[in-house]
Amino acid sequence: MIAEGIAEVFAEVFAEVFAEGSVHAREVGVENGPEFAFGADDQVVLASVFKIPVAVAYAAEVAAGRLDETERTRVTSRYRIGGIGTAGCADDVEMSWRDLALFMMTMSDNAATDVIFHRVGQAAVDKVLANLGLHRTRILGCCEDLFASMSADLAMTPLEAEEALGAPTWELIRALAIVDPERTTSSTPREITSLLDAIWTDRAAAPEACERVRAIMAQQIWPHRLGSGFPADVMVAAKTGTLPSVRNEAGVVTYPDGRSYAVAVFTRAQSLDLRQPAVDAVIGAPDASPSTTSGAHHETCGSAAGSRRAGRLRSLGRARFRQPEPGRRQDVHDVDRRGSRHPRPRAHGPVRCPLCRPVPLRQADRAHRQR
């Protein structure tokens, strides 16, 4: 549900970084509980967010005893398409299945993903989605298939396509199925949070399988998107997704009090720049707490953009903070009587707006590859 005026605020938040966005958030494990929806039923390009159901299918195979996670396998030249992890290695790499799964989810290793996908099979991944009734989520193969479609769309060899995407144009990008949700692996923000909720409540697969996926997702190394909007005492377990003009992340945010929220943010930028830190950061800027008063949290931001948003949110009654008890530490997020979490200053200093602080960017953020 979305409060009157908040949709306009969110549209402004994305517009200020020259992007469009779709968002859904829900409290984990609370049936028919509070949610926040902004374009939540839009069909969106998943990019590497598709690796979440692949991880569930892998973990289910391990839990069922059909796959020994300590068994070693080889990543050959077929899969080494460049990028990070085993995909960028110069030589064949031999690893255990569990380490490949770790590379797939923590650094978004495309080669590791494809080796796992070919081991568990398309049917196993489809079964995960069908069992949860996620009928709008379509996984059309793995990274290898996506890159093959790109070459076909451009009528180029894989090497030629890679070189062309080193300096992409909109004319080139619009020809690609991989950025069209009607022609590629896609879903909706709402279905992705449903999948995350099922993983965190042991409904997506056997409990030990879900626990394995949760543990791996908590180790993701990319902090510059969803994680940039939360302090260190809030745990973020998530998966990014990147393609030309596409910046996504979906995951579960767990607060110190134990409550968790499934959050999915999908964006389309108006720029084809290789690095877009403002778009990355805005993924963490919308408040992930699902309530009827949710919005972007820039109350303590000193930037012009943050101040404008803060003013808009205050006009909507967004800045009503509960005073702390005497001697009690002020947390960044707290709960008022309506159950809404509001960001507020820590006792030892302000909360910095993620659009105003330096955003750490890891190496190998290549726009023509998924992450």
Specify the pLDDT at position 371.
Answer: 56
The predicted model gives 40-64 an average pLDDT of: 98
Highest mean pLDDT among 126-135, 152-161, 295-304: 126-135
Question: Residue 303 and residue 300: Cα distance in Å, rounded?
Answer: 9
Tens-place pLDDT, residues 346-363: 333 333 333 233 333 333
3-state DSSP assignment of residue 208: helix
For the chain, domain boundaries: 6-282
- Report whether 55 contacts 101 (CB < 8 A): yes
β-strand pairing of 44-45 with 333-335: unpaired
Q: What is the DSSP string of 99-143?
A: HHHHHHHHT--HHHHHHHHHHH-HHHHHHHHHHTT-TT-B--S-H
Highest mean pLDDT among 143-157, 182-196, 349-363: 182-196
Q: What is the DSSP string of 312-349?
A: HHHHTTTT--PPPPTTPPPPSEEE-TTS-EEE--BTTB
Pairwise pLDDT comparison (63 vs 168), residue with the higher score: 63
Pairwise pLDDT comparison (219 vs 335), residue with the higher score: 219
Q: Which residues pair with 317 in a beta bridge?
A: none
> What is the 8-class DSSP label of residue 223?
-
- Say if pTM beats, i.e. exceeds, 0.75: yes
Specify the pLDDT at position 180.
Answer: 96
Helix, strand, coil percentages (3-state) for the chain, rounded to 5, are 35, 15, 45
| pLDDT for residue 115 is more than 80 | yes
Question: Residue 77 and residue 264: Cα distance in Å, rounded?
Answer: 34
Tens-place pLDDT, residues 221-279: 999 999 999 999 999 999 999 999 999 999 999 999 999 999 999 999 999 998 999 99
- Report whether 19 contacts 268 (CB < 8 A): yes
| pLDDT for residue 4 is more than 80 | no
Tens-place pLDDT, residues 17-38: 999 999 999 999 998 888 999 9
| pLDDT for residue 166 is more than 60 | yes
Question: Residue 213 and residue 210: Cα distance in Å, rounded?
Answer: 5
Specify the pLDDT at position 365.
Answer: 35
The predicted model gives 174-193 an average pLDDT of: 96
Terminal-residue alpha carbon distance, the chain: 30
Specify the pLDDT at position 351.
Answer: 31
Question: Residue 193 and residue 37: Cα distance in Å, rounded?
Answer: 11
How many CA atoms lie within 13 Å of 81's alpha carbon, on the beta-carbon side?
27
Q: Nearest Cα to 269, choosing from 259, 279, 277?
A: 279
β-strand pairing of 235-243 with 246-254: antiparallel
Question: Residue 28 and residue 34: Cα distance in Å, rounded?
Answer: 10
Specify the pLDDT at position 191.
Answer: 98
Which residues, other chains included, contact 304 with Cβ-Cβ below 8 Å and sequence gap of 6+?
Answer: none
Question: Residue 177 and residue 188: Cα distance in Å, rounded?
Answer: 17
Q: How many residues does the chain have?
A: 371
Specify the pLDDT at position 336.
Answer: 29
Confidence of residue 9 (pLDDT cuts 50, 70, 90): confident
Question: Residue 150 and residue 169: Cα distance in Å, rounded?
Answer: 14
Q: Which CATH class is domain 6-282?
A: alpha beta
Question: Residue 66 and residue 60: Cα distance in Å, rounded?
Answer: 9
Question: Residue 335 and residue 332: Cα distance in Å, rounded?
Answer: 10
Tens-place pLDDT, residues 298-348: 322 232 333 344 333 333 333 222 233 334 333 333 222 223 333 333 333
Tens-place pLDDT, residues 54-112: 999 999 999 999 999 999 999 999 998 878 999 999 999 999 999 999 999 999 999 99
